[in-house]
Structure 1
């Protein structure tokens, strides 16, 4: 991506200088750049010279429905936003003997097309500073001829791209579109998104990284787009007008920030809170239930290491996965997310290492757990006085007793809540798309953040369920 040709501007990318001779001449005069070889004339732009969008105003753009409502540059627009006094020299032009140039004088406005153009010249590439009045004679014939010869070398793809550069990032474009906000972030509207951002606290403005083109709200929007729609860093870089590496760093930083901020929240409810928020029918049939458990698996790319292949291969999914156990309260609050293990690990092995067993403050005697029949851990919790409510097994019988069938149906009708929670979390497509090997160290953080964000949405469990 080429650097902006405006003196002292260090931004990259932008609009190619137009081919039209009259507009092209206005651009060259407005830029105030002197030819590095011949100081007596203005600089002649090459075929790839660009002016970044920071030098244009909002009035220089219009919305074109033909290109998907993207902002397009007006054909007669001329760059007019310059800040030469506070500008920094371009890094690639720094030399060993460089000195800070003096403040350039203002350019005379509305120069004539023919005749003599006077402007104050400012040298930015040499050690010395030149401030003199230089006459430049412009004739229509010579100008048109020289512009035609220089424009003939401009590739067509660059000319088409110069007028399709967006001026607004996705958050600025969609903050008033509730449907788009829910599609990209899972939040109902911008106010809902803003509420979630405010819960992260003022530390969101103090993260130890820099991206001056976007503010913290836009950084969060980028991270949520990555989680929600599983977009690649390259696509995000195009949408937000940044580099691919910057998009990757923003997502990595905000993933860690969201993980540690949300982990500090006390999501495990007390016994009194569970009873107060428990749905009426649930309280009638299973009043002692503290948590509903189920396992979920996330697909990953096949590792190259044989031991890693063996540890992550799931016989249930018949592919390489990572497994974790999710728990929710009877009211639908995600209250527990276990550590992440390879797909080969059984549910019992994960439960043996879970905090539900090691932390005595989470479950008390008389409490009960509701789980699938695959989580057979009754013996592990029996010593704590905690009952595990699972469907009955056949145990070499031809059929279950009528009472057991009725009980299993009641358990299944309530245990479905955790399956609905997992389905809601997997609307974040990053949990359904095959994760790259490089993302495996961050898989637990991704899973945790996606499930915790579900707690900021309306509960999917009805109060009479």
Structure 2
């Protein structure tokens, strides 16, 4: 028989009779303290349950009989707005790179040029033009079309790592990379028309005086080549084709055509760094765009005189000293005239590199040279170079008009 004169329930572990105490092989020692302890615990549990019931009843009565005053509601709403503003400030503090809208630029041209190389008005017009075609981000990512265009332009401008953009925006790297590639494709499709061959009349009407004084209005285009560093290809043949003796590295080469007024009017596809200027000129579609009687201005490396003259196009090259000790005075004067105007065109290439550091800051992965069928058959690198040339054409020309 137990302390209370009956057996305890199966789950009543606090009852002193819950533990077996009969026929244990030794004398039972049951103290009154154990009984008192159990009774006190039972009373505490009963009192606790009673208080919880009373509090729930009071809460219901307060809710139903004592409504919150109107001024208190307004006070709570103001507090919520204040907390939301504070949350936004904290978010902006930890995400200093991403701006949410044009208002964050405050019509600040310097800030806008730092991230995009464009002034505020041009950037705003560019966004309005591209916005219907930009990828629509999922609402769960908290990213907008404006931010997608901004970080894409910033990638081109500053060559910021996409991993850094992912951390700063709080969006997964794969998502940022997908938005970046889609945005590049949209800009390539919508802006490539800015790099187009003008009519002869348009070139003549916009001819700067520095060209007109020396060559009249016959110069149609000034051509040159520039190289972009790439990673080393894994295949031996590709590595040999892309090795540049000039850069002492693996590169791709582009032929660029610039109008006398400083506008980029032609950009070729990528060629291996080993390709000569002559080979690239012959294989590109440059000469098909020219008319009989046009003048091409080039550097000494473009040994294309015979090929060009067969099409009725004149080639202006600096004089050579091959087979003679020194240049003839007339050749010296001709070379001086060419150098005085070519310097302006070389500044356009420098402007292209300075404005969009992605073209020279780091080596391009070999994967950017491969054609992808997801968006466009044009390799990503060709898309990027074309987009950068198009954006430079939106900037003021470095060639003076007078």
TM-score higher than 0.5 here? yes
Are 1:196 and 1:456, in contact at CA under 8 Å, matched by a contact in 2? no
Q: Residue 184 of structure 2 corresponds to which residue in structure 1?
A: 255
1:338 aligns with 2:265: no
CA change 1:58–1:184 in 2 (3 A) is: farther
Q: Residue 179 of structure 1 corresponds to which residue in structure 2?
A: 110
CA change 1:311–1:226 in 2 (3 A) is: same
Q: Residue 384 of structure 2 corresponds to which residue in structure 1?
A: 446
Q: Residue 377 of structure 1 corresponds to which residue in structure 2?
A: 304
Q: Residue 220 of structure 1 corresponds to which residue in structure 2?
A: 149
Looking at structure 1, the residues matched to 97 and 329 of structure 2 have their Cα atoms a distance apart, in angstroms, of: 64
Are 1:170 and 1:240, in contact at CA under 8 Å, matched by a contact in 2? no
C-alpha deviations, 1:93-128, integer Å up to 9, x for none?
A: xxxxxxxxxxxxxxxxxxxxxxxxxxxxxxxxxxxx
TM-score normalized by the length of structure 1: 0.62
Looking at structure 2, the residues matched to 58 and 448 of structure 1 have their Cα atoms a distance apart, in angstroms, of: 47
List alignment gaps of at least 5 residues for structure 1.
Answer: 1-55, 64-69, 74-162
Are 1:71 and 1:167, in contact at CA under 8 Å, matched by a contact in 2? no
Looking at structure 1, the residues matched to 323 and 149 of structure 2 have their Cα atoms a distance apart, in angstroms, of: 54
Instruction: Find the residue that maps to 1:71 and give its secondary structure.
Output: helix
1:72 aligns with 2:102: no
Shift of 1:323: 0.3
Shift of 1:178: 2.5
Are 2:100 and 2:144, in contact at CA under 8 Å, matched by a contact in 1? no
Q: Residue 259 of structure 2 corresponds to which residue in structure 1?
A: 329
Q: Which moved more, 1:415-424 or 1:210-219?
A: 210-219
Instruction: Find the residue that maps to 2:255 and give its secondary structure.
Output: strand
Q: Residue 349 of structure 2 corresponds to which residue in structure 1?
A: 422
CA change 1:449–1:57 in 2 (3 A) is: farther
Are 1:169 and 1:241, in contact at CA under 8 Å, matched by a contact in 2? no
Instruction: Find the residue that maps to 2:154 and give its secondary structure.
Output: helix
Looking at structure 1, the residues matched to 94 and 210 of structure 2 have their Cα atoms a distance apart, in angstroms, of: 56
Are 1:300 and 1:436, in contact at CA under 8 Å, matched by a contact in 2? yes
Say which of 211, 226, 246 aligns to 2:175: 246
Shift of 1:59: 4.0
Looking at structure 1, the residues matched to 116 and 104 of structure 2 have their Cα atoms a distance apart, in angstroms, of: 11
1:311 aligns with 2:241: yes
Q: Residue 17 of structure 2 corresponds to which residue in structure 1?
A: none
Bigger Rg, structure 1 or 2: 2
List alignment gaps of at least 5 residues for structure 2.
Answer: 1-79, 371-379
Instruction: Find the residue that maps to 1:170 and give its secondary structure.
Output: coil
Are 2:195 and 2:389, in contact at CA under 8 Å, matched by a contact in 1? no
Say which of 382, 389, 393 aligns to 2:320: 393
Matches within 5 A, 1:138-149: none
CA change 1:370–1:71 in 2 (3 A) is: same
C-alpha deviations, 1:29-72, integer Å up to 9, x for none?
A: xxxxxxxxxxxxxxxxxxxxxxxxxxx86744559xxxxxx932
Looking at structure 2, the residues matched to 216 and 267 of structure 1 have their Cα atoms a distance apart, in angstroms, of: 28
CA change 1:413–1:405 in 2 (3 A) is: same
Are 2:197 and 2:266, in contact at CA under 8 Å, matched by a contact in 1? yes
CA change 1:367–1:211 in 2 (3 A) is: same
CA RMSD of aligned residues (A): 2.3
Looking at structure 2, the residues matched to 332 and 168 of structure 1 have their Cα atoms a distance apart, in angstroms, of: 32
Say which of 265, 284, 287 aligns to 1:354: 284
Q: Residue 455 of structure 1 corresponds to which residue in structure 2?
A: 393
Shift of 1:266: 6.4
C-alpha deviations, 1:398-428, integer Å up to 9, x for none?
A: 1101111111011011112221111111121
Shift of 1:165: 4.1
C-alpha deviations, 1:209-267, integer Å up to 9, x for none?
A: 63432222221111101111111111111232311111101110011111111224462
Instruction: Find the residue that maps to 2:90 and give its secondary structure.
Output: strand
Instruction: Find the residue that maps to 1:330 and give its secondary structure.
Output: coil
Alignment: residue pair count? 307
Shift of 1:450: 0.6
Looking at structure 1, the residues matched to 344 and 240 of structure 2 have their Cα atoms a distance apart, in angstroms, of: 32
1:363 aligns with 2:293: no
Shift of 1:334: 0.5
Looking at structure 2, the residues matched to 178 and 62 of structure 1 have their Cα atoms a distance apart, in angstroms, of: 28
CA change 1:266–1:443 in 2 (3 A) is: closer
Looking at structure 2, the residues matched to 166 and 446 of structure 1 have their Cα atoms a distance apart, in angstroms, of: 26
Looking at structure 1, the residues matched to 197 and 276 of structure 2 have their Cα atoms a distance apart, in angstroms, of: 24
TM-score normalized by the length of structure 2: 0.71
Q: Residue 408 of structure 1 corresponds to which residue in structure 2?
A: 335
Looking at structure 2, the residues matched to 311 and 168 of structure 1 have their Cα atoms a distance apart, in angstroms, of: 40
Please identify which structure carries the higher helix content: 2
